[in-house]
Structure 1
C-alpha cells in the first residue's frame, strides 16, 4: 500500500506540473523578448538627401556616389506564381545592377537559382547567404517578392550617401510586441555590413535557428528582424522629406482609391510620395502599366531638373 500511495502521489504531482506547463504555453506570446537596454536602438525615420543637400555636392562627388551605389536584387519566387515571376523578370528587375530569382524548386520556363527548399525562412536564409557570397563589389541588397514593383533608381537615391559599411535595415517598419521589423511584402533593403553580420549570426542556432523554434514559428520577416537584432541591426523606416512612406504595402490603384475617398480635394498629394520605391500586391497587368508610366511615358520637352543620373547596368536591356 505505501508504494501504491507513493506512486499515486507522484502521478498527481507530475500531472499538476504538466497542466501548469500547458497553461503557461496557452498564455505565451511567441515574440522574442529583448533586454530593456536595447530600446535606445529603436528605428528612426530614414530620409534621402533634400534638394538643398544634394546641391551642396560637387560634380565629382555626385559622379562618384552614383557609380558606387549598386544594388543586388534577391527576388523570392515559387513555380506557383510563375506569371508574377515572369513579369518581374521582364520589368523592374532589369534596373537592378544584378538580380537573381531564388526558387523553391526548378522551373523549366524561367532561369532561377534552385535552393531546393520548401520552408520559406530557410530559403530566405540560403538566398541571402548566396547573394552575400556572390555580390562582388555590390554593397546594397534588396529583398522582394515578385508581386512587388520596385523603382530601383529611387532606392539608390535613398541610400545615395549612406555608408554601406554601416548596418542598415530599411523598409516599411511594423511593430509586434517590442520587436520592430521591416515588412517583407513592401521590400527589404540591407547594407553590406548588415548582411555580413546576419550571415555570421546565421551560424548561431541558439539566436537564429534555421528551422525556427520548436514550440512556435514566427513569420520569416519577424525571424529576419530577430536575427538582425541579435547582430545589432535595427529596422529603419524609409520616408521622404515630407514624412510620406517610400515602401508602400499597397498597390498604386488601392492607394489612389483610398486617397480619392479620404482626400477628394487633394488626391495626388495625399496619395503617394514622388520618390516612392515600392508598391505591393501588383497584378501582372498593373506591373506592366507601372513600367510604362515610370520609365516610358515622358512629356516632350519637359526638364525634370534631376541633378543625378543612375546609368543602367552594363549590357542591360532595361527601359
Structure 2
C-alpha cells in the first residue's frame, strides 16, 4: 500500500495498461509467427520479381493423397482427350526450389500438379535424393536466381531435349493445371521460336514473362537460348545477378524468340502472378500498385480476370495447393456434365484449329506447302482424332443418361416437361 501511495493511481493505471498491451502484442506476434496464415492473403509483393515470401508458411505434415478413383464421380470420367494430349503435347516442368523449401513446399508440388507433367524436375543448389532435387553448381539466394535459371535450362537441354516438346519453368509456390497448358499448346508448333506466360511490358520491347506465374519455352526457343545465347555476353547477361524473368525476356528477344499471346478468345488471361482471390475480387490490388503498369495487355479483375482454362497461379502456399487440387480435380456439381476433359466445339473451326488463331493456321499451311509436313500433318490428324473422341464421349453420355432415366423412381409424366426444358437449356450451353 505504501508503494501504491508513493507511486500514485495514475502511474499504477499506466503500468497495468502497459502490461496488458505488452501481453496482447506478444500473443498476436506468437500466433502470427506460429500460423502465418494471415500473411498469405494479406501479402502483396512490392516488386514483380519478389520471391520467397511464403517460405515460412508451413503445409500439412504429410502430403495428402486422394484414393477415390473407384467412386462413381470419377469412374464415369472420360479422360480420352486428356490422355491423348499427354502423349501428343509432351511437357517438361522444372520447378525452382531450395534446400530449405524441399520439405515445406516442393514436396507439395510433387503431390499435386507436378505429377501431371510428362517429366518433373526440381532444381536446387543442393542435391536431395528423397524428393529428388537436382543439385546445380550455383550459390543459393534470391540474388542468384538468374544463375540458377541458366544452369537449370542447361541441364534440361543436355539431359532431356528429345524427351519433351515444351519446357516450363515454375516456382515452388506456383500451381499449374497442366491439362490446360497442353490444351493451349496443342495447335502450336514446338519448332517455332516462341515462349508463353503472363506477359509484362517494361524494359523489353516485346515484353517478358512473369517468372512466378511460370513460362513455357518451345523446343526451338530452348535450343536457341542454350546454343546461341546463354554464354554469349552480347545476348544474355553474364553472372548470377539481375531479375531472372526480365533477363530471360531480354535474352530471348535478342535471339528472335517471339513473346506469344496466351489469352483466350475472350481476352482473359491464362497465367496469373497472384493467388485466385487477388485476381477475382476487385479492390484487393491497390490502384497505385506496380501490377497495373506492368501488364502488357490491360489487366482485369473480377469475372473477366481469368480464363475458364486458366493454367497457373502464383504465391500459392502449401495448404492452398491442396485446396486448388480438390476444387479442380475432385469437386463435382451433381447432374452437370463438365467439359474439362473435352475440347469445346465453339473454340474450333472446321479444320480443328482455334478460330482466333488465323496467324497460326496460315503458318501451318505455309509450312505444309514448304515440305515441313511430318509433325504438322500428325497434328492435323490428331485434330480429327479429337473430334472422333468427342463424338464417342457424347454417345457414351447419351447411353448413360438413358440408363439413369430408366432407374428414376419419380413418375416421368409428372416431371417430363421440366426435364425436357432443363435438357434444352444445358444443351444450348454446351453448344
Distance 1:221 1:279 in 2: 16
Which has the higher Rg, Structure 1 or Structure 2? 2
TM-score, reference length from structure 1: 0.69
CA-based RMSD of the aligned residues comes to 2.7
SS of match in other structure, 2:201: strand
- Please tell me whether residue 188 in structure 1 is matched to residue 215 in structure 2: yes
Change in Cα spacing, 1:178 to 1:209, as seen in structure 2 (3 Å) is closer
Q: Is the 8 A contact 1:121 1:210 kept in 2?
A: no
Shift of the alpha carbon at 1:109?
5.2
Distance 2:100 2:333 in 1: 39
Given the alignment, which residue of 170, 189, 212 partners 2:196? 170
Q: Deviations over 1:27-54 (max 9, x none)?
A: xxxxxxxxxxxxxxxxxxxxxxxxxxxx
Q: Is the 8 A contact 1:259 1:268 kept in 2?
A: no
Query: For structure 1, which runs of at least 5 residues remain unmatched after alignment?
Result: 1-60, 310-319
TM-score, reference length from structure 2: 0.52
- Matched residues, number: 242
1:68 aligned residue: 88
**Greater strand proportion:** 1
Q: Is the 8 A contact 2:97 2:124 kept in 1?
A: yes
Shift of the alpha carbon at 1:176?
1.7
**Greater helix proportion:** 2
2:303 aligned residue: 269
Distance 1:78 1:149 in 2: 17
Distance 2:197 2:110 in 1: 22
Shift of the alpha carbon at 1:129?
1.5
Query: For structure 2, which runs of at least 5 residues remain unmatched after alignment?
Result: 1-80, 287-300, 344-385, 390-431
Distance 2:129 2:244 in 1: 27
Distance 2:163 2:129 in 1: 30
Superposition map of 1:1-319 within 5 A:
67-82=87-102, 83-107=104-128, 110-118=131-139, 119-135=144-160, 136-179=162-205, 180-200=207-227, 201-211=229-239, 217-258=241-282, 269-305=303-339, 306-307=342-343
Distance 2:204 2:123 in 1: 31
Change in Cα spacing, 1:204 to 1:127, as seen in structure 2 (3 Å) is same
Shift of the alpha carbon at 1:146?
0.8
SS of match in other structure, 1:226: helix
Shift of the alpha carbon at 1:105?
1.6
